[in-house]
Chains A and B, each alone.
Chain A
Amino acid sequence: MRPVARAHPLWVAYIVHRLSGVALALFLPLHFWVLAMAVSAPQKLDGFLQLTEAGIVKLAEFGLVFLLAVHMFGGLRLMAMEWLPWTPGQKTLAASAAAVSFLIACLFFIRAI
């Protein structure tokens, strides 16, 4: 028989939040281990950091930053929904305002550096 239908936006928000959270938790031990090399093996750390110039690693870095951002904003959305008794219209407005201000801040930041 058919799997359960889940075609609604909040389910997508849930699965993105969960998968990004699991991925970040799996990445963290590696991240910590590499940073600890600063003392135990500085030349190895430099070798590793040079890797970050490679295209594929750059792409992976972009992925990690994306996971972190998406998990944080997804989590803030969840907490706003749970703890602030807003009407649906207010929620949409707040989300749009946050998205627009984040976009403007990003644009400014990219110009500035």
Chain B
Amino acid sequence: MTLIGQALEYVAGMTSDILKVTIARGAGAGAATTPETFEVPAYENQTVLDVVSWVQQNADPTLSYRFACRVGMCGSCAMMVNGVPRWTCRTHISKVLDGSSVEIAPLRNLPVIKDLVVDMDPFFDKWVAAEGVHHSALTRHDPIAPIDEDSAARVEANAGIECINCSVCYAACDTVAGNADYLGPAALQRAWTLLNDAKDEGRAAILEAVSDKGGCHNCHSIGSCTAYCPNELDPMSAIAGLKRETAKSFFRKAR
């Protein structure tokens, strides 16, 4: 093949590798969302976040989105990708492409600030409302409590500690979508983790918080949280654990 032929094939190859990226744009706070489609060059190694960044850097600098660590630790880049909540920095674009198209929207169940940026306040407020805070009974002068890594409670607690607060489970949850008071999978999983943590003294406060009108009993075990958690955690089973413990406390109180 001639050099010109090779060059032509190279150019043709490049132009055919164009991604059609549709992004939900909106000024937020009740303003209408309009889909806007961008043509983005495809690369062999490219995450969804790379695609969004390319649009912001090369096509429209006014596009708003959020990210920080780019390695799946900080939990700030989650978005809806083709209707599925995902951590975009760890999602390869080839995994989600529909032909050569992809649709990217802000996380579900949270108010949109602008474009792909959502207000995470309700998510974190519920984290606190579920007593997802440390309850200490010791001071710095007390010896550090020994932890048995193999105890059943510690195994349960360990199962949930890798949560990065990305809100993917919260966006996936149909119960949150229909019930604004519901605390959601992440906050309840945190409550379950602390309930099983030998160093946490908040048992009564936690059980009371997760038994209120927004508590764990609103969960219908649909399991979207567990199905979509990027860290493969299991909030649904954690919430089932809370249901079990609160049911036991219900019978104890009745006696």
Spell out A's residues near B (CB within 8 Å): 1-6, 8, 10-11, 14, 18, 78, 81-83, 85
Is B84 in the interface zone, CB < 8 Å from A?
Answer: yes
A92 to chain B, nearest CB (A): 15
Q: Are B221 and A78 in contact (CB under 8 A)?
A: yes
Q: Are B221 and A10 in contact (CB under 8 A)?
A: yes
The 7 tightest CB contacts between A and B, nearest first, are: A10-B223, A2-B83, A5-B83, A14-B222, A5-B84, A8-B227, A82-B240
Cα of A85 to Cα of B152 in the assembled complex, Å: 12
Which residues of chain A are within 8 angstroms of B220 by Cβ–Cβ distance? Answer: 14, 18
Is B28 in the interface zone, CB < 8 Å from A?
Answer: no
User: What 13 new A-B contacts, CB under 8 Å, besides A2-B80, A82-B243, A82-B244?
Assistant: A1-B80, A1-B83, A1-B103, A2-B105, A4-B83, A5-B82, A8-B227, A10-B223, A10-B224, A11-B224, A18-B220, A81-B240, A82-B221
> B80, B222, B241, B247: which contacts A11 (Cβ < 8 A)?
B222
Is B211 in the interface zone, CB < 8 Å from A?
Answer: no
The residue of chain A having its C-beta at the shortest distance from the C-beta of B234 within the complex is A88
Interface on chain B toward A: helix, strand, loop, or mixed SS?
A: mixed
Known: A81-B240, A83-B243, A85-B241. A2 touches B82 (CB 8 A): yes
Is B174 in the interface zone, CB < 8 Å from A?
Answer: yes
Q: Are B223 and A11 in contact (CB under 8 A)?
A: yes
Cα of A1 to Cα of B115 in the assembled complex, Å: 13
B75 to chain A, nearest CB (A): 20
Is B196 in the interface zone, CB < 8 Å from A?
Answer: no
Is B190 in the interface zone, CB < 8 Å from A?
Answer: no
Which residues of chain A are within 8 angstroms of B243 by Cβ–Cβ distance? Answer: 82-83
Is B108 in the interface zone, CB < 8 Å from A?
Answer: yes
Cα of A10 to Cα of B240 in the assembled complex, Å: 14
> A8, A78, A81, A85: which contacts B224 (Cβ < 8 A)?
A8
Known: A14-B222, A82-B221. A6 touches B174 (CB 8 A): yes
Known: A8-B223, A10-B222, A11-B222. A85 touches B244 (CB 8 A): yes
